[in-house]
Structure 1
Amino acid sequence: MSDDRSVVDMDPDVARRLFEEGAFLVLLGVPQGTELGIDCKSWQVGPRFKGVKMIPPGLHFLHYCSVNRPSHGGEIGPKTGLFVTLKPREILLAHWDPKEEDLDFSASQNEEEVSRIRDNLKELDTSLGPYPYEVMRKWVSLTDRLSHEVAMNLQPLSGRICAFSDVVPEIQFRHTEDRAEQPRNDTACQSMKEGLDKLPRMKQREGTELRFSAIPEKMYPPGATPAEITRCSLDLSYALDTVLQNYELRPLDLLGELQFAFVCFILGNVYEGFEHWKSLLTLLCRSEETMRKRKELYLGLIAVLYHQLGEVPPDFFVDIVSQNNFLTSTLQDFFQYVGGPGVDGSLRKRAEKFKAHLTKKFCWDFDADLDDCAPVVVELPEGFSVD
């Protein structure tokens, strides 16, 4: 990570401004070969690497994978990431902890050490890779609704977003008699269920959980009549309003949570992020009443989805087993509801443009039979291209 071509290709005024106002990530002791990235780009760390310079102030996602020594196979471990917010000319300092195979940022609290680093920035300069300015526009488009406050509230208390969950047994067997009471697993299992029942029940280690908004288990209010249950199951506005209570003062911050979940999955390899993204999108797209009340929320949703869907291949959302495209069926409902009575005209027009864009880009047909579960694809004439 010593290539300065992004600096050479950069507009001189922008380069000068970043030199003057950009922040620094000084990462000392990171082993050679470690896969490390910031925002939408990653590299393999070289022998002289000591961090990243010229970082635009604001919110960023630092992610990395530890690597075993060649003598141990050179295997790359699961990805770890964290959101950080950097101020102009700030120096965020971390040392690599070989025992934990992780970055230790406690040195950033040592004003004397940070001051010493600042005084030696000229000597460090050739070992600091420039921020990948060419991906900054993409990064901003994926996080423009995500504030520092929302990111910190959603990030685990441990400060690390891990691709693999850190799990521990639900029951801690501290005494021999505790283990004796558990089902024995020294006999052959007659079924998969029996085998699973014999395994210890696990839970995520406290403090490592992503703190997403809870999606209601029941989509209807307590004491609802059968008619209300039916209505709330078709129009998910009640469940969406329940989630929006987390953002009572700033409801559009829910779009920030949608972006946070997407980044965790796309850049952090966290599958839980993808599942939460789908859950939030389902609530937003199938809430007809809320659509009529919250025009700005849905104008923002269209903009967020426009940029997110530009980062995935067309068949990304097709379930391998059922061949059902989650996104086409979800957006099909959205376009149906947004065209209904009582929806703001500017929102309806924006949705129509978005629908046309997706139809052209992905060849998805949103006007097919709503009950058809087969993949929905537009048939194009031979030799016709949408590129």
Structure 2
Amino acid sequence: MASSSSVDMDPDVARRLFEEGATLVLLGVPQGTEFGIDCMSWKVGPRFRGVKMIPPGLHFLNYCSVNPPSCGGEVGPKTGLFLSLKSRDILLANWNAKEEDLDFSASHNEEEVNRVRTNLKELDPYLGPYPYAVMRKWVSLTDRLSEKVANNLQPLCGRVRAYSDVIPETEFRHTKDRAEQPRNDTACQTMREGLDKLPKMKHREGTQLRFSVIPEKTYPSGATPAQITQCSLDFTYALETVLDQNHQQNPLDLLGELQFAFVCFLIGNVYEGFEHWKRLLSLLCRAEAAMQKRKDLYLGLIAVLYHQLGEIPPDFFVDIVSQNNFLTSTLQDFFQLASGPGMDGALRKRAEKFKAHLTKKFSWDFDPDLEECEPVVVDLPEGFTVD
């Protein structure tokens, strides 16, 4: 693990960080393992024993097991976990070769922790320094994400995994159970037919991310046709439902959830995080009444998006988002609403600056196509009239 982040650091600053920062002692991590904390990752060398000088706060530890070169050197899927560390904390973990995961149970052994603390200076040459060069980036991506929100969203098993840990909905313990399932010995005529023959799967209990549930219907039960139309144009009802059910005490925690989802995708390689990020963003950007009511939430949203979009290369959107032109169409709606009547002046100005920034950075055009807004002329069949 490289230690370039400590180059040119003042010795007194380095000493204070060593004494006051938190320490992760990670024993037995195989050489070649891809290991990262926050926005930086490395390949583990033979002397690696952990990370020192970690600033207090929330961090995202992540790692991938790697087969030795003799076995092909394939890299496994990424595993991550959010950790909240305090000044002078020492966290111990041992590598579990069978599970290819870190076991933190040693951190609960006070005697073992005290022994490591006593010998910390002897362990120092084997500890890589926290990458302070990218600390500003990490803080900008998680400044709205509290320890409480991260703990509520992280799977109960404590691991954020790049792959879905799924099991069959039915166990099929008996031959009779298996015999009653659709057979796969005949050719399928359609993709749907093939999917229907596969066993129904579900997440293994405790492994799924616990994101807020976004209502499938954007309108309340028993809504009139006029209300359904209104709620389909203005997503405020659906947004307020999410806030009431998940972030009632602090609505701004929804921005923390947006950041959690983005970090899971950007660093943890969790595609589910990207999908939830898109759904939350669509909800926020199309809630006109909420935009008028919750100025602080939307000023915060612009700041969050500014830093998130700054971390993704422009061609990323060409490859993924622009399949349905998701981001540009969503932000186009947001900018149009933010410039409308009844909006706070500070929010309107901030949105205009953000729009100009994105237009310059990505060459995106957020101005609506006027031709698409023109009325459509329909030729009626002979004999039909419109009163």
| Both proteins in one fold, TM over 0.5 | yes
Residues of 1 paired with 2:315 and 2:198: CA distance? 36
What is the TM-score with the length of structure 1 in the denominator? 0.93
Q: CA RMSD in A?
A: 1.6
For residue 186 of structure 1, give the secondary structure of its aligned residue in structure 2.
Answer: coil
Q: Which residue of 1 is the match for residue 226 of structure 2? A: 227
Distance 2:367 2:187 in 1: 53
SS state of the match for residue 220, structure 2? coil
Q: Distance in 1 between matches of 2:287 and 2:147?
A: 28
Q: Which residue of 1 aligns with 2:343?
A: 343
Q: 1:296 to 1:98 in 2, by over 3 A?
A: same
Alignment map for 1:201-280 (pairs within 5 Å):
201-245=200-244, 246-280=246-280
* Partner Cα separation in structure 2 for residue 138 and residue 313 of structure 1: 15
Match of 1:308 in 2: 308
1:334 aligns with 2:334: yes
% identical aligned pairs: 80
Measured at CA, do residues 164 and 372 of structure 1 come closer, stay the same or move farther in structure 2, by a change above 3 Å? farther
Instruction: Give 2:312's aligned amino acid.
Output: V
Alignment of 1:367-386 (within 5 A): 367-369=367-369
Question: Counterpart in 1 of 2:100?
Answer: 101
Whole-angstrom distance in 1 between the partners of 2:335 and 2:194: 46
* 1:16 CA displacement: 3.4
In the TM superposition, what whole-angstrom CA distance separates every residue of 1:319-355 from its partner, at most 9, and x where no partner exists? 6697542111111111110111111111111111111
Which stretch of the first structure deviates more once superposed, 358-367 or 278-287? Answer: 358-367
When residues 307 and 11 of structure 1 are mapped into structure 2, their CA distance, relative to the original with a 3 A threshold, is farther
Judging changes above 3 Å, is the alpha-carbon distance between structure 1 residues 168 and 324 closer, same or farther for their aligned structure 2 residues?
closer
Q: Per-residue displacement from partner, 1:354-385 (whole Å, max 9, x unpaired)?
A: 11111111111111317869xxxxxxxxxxxx
TM-score by length of 2: 0.93
| Cα distance, 1:188–1:324 mapped onto 2, change above 3 Å | closer
2:141/2:304 contact within 8 Å kept: yes
Cα 1:166–1:342 change in 2 (3 A) is: same
CA distance in 2, matches of 1:352, 1:74: 49
- Corresponding residue for residue 185 of structure 2: 186
349-358 or 12-21, larger mean C-alpha shift:
12-21
1:16-55 matches, cutoff 5 A = 16-55=15-54
CA contact (8 A) 1:150 1:257 kept: yes
The match for 1:385 is none
CA contact (8 A) 1:319 1:325 kept: no
Q: Quote the Cα distance in structure 1 between the aligned partners of 2:283 and 2:13.
A: 41
Match of residue 146 from structure 2: 147
State the 1:183 CA deviation. Answer: 1.3
Counterpart in the other structure of 1:376: none
Match of 2:118 in 1: 119
The residue identity in structure 2 corresponding to 1:337 is: L
Query: Gapped runs of 5+ residues in structure 2?
Result: 374-387
Q: Matched residue pairs, number?
A: 372
Structure 1 range deviating more: 124-133 or 358-367: 358-367
The 1:237/1:139 distance shift into structure 2, 3 A limit, reads same
8 Å contact from structure 1 (residues 79, 163) kept in 2: yes
Q: Which amino acid aligns with 2:47?
A: R
Query: Counterpart of 1:15?
Result: 14
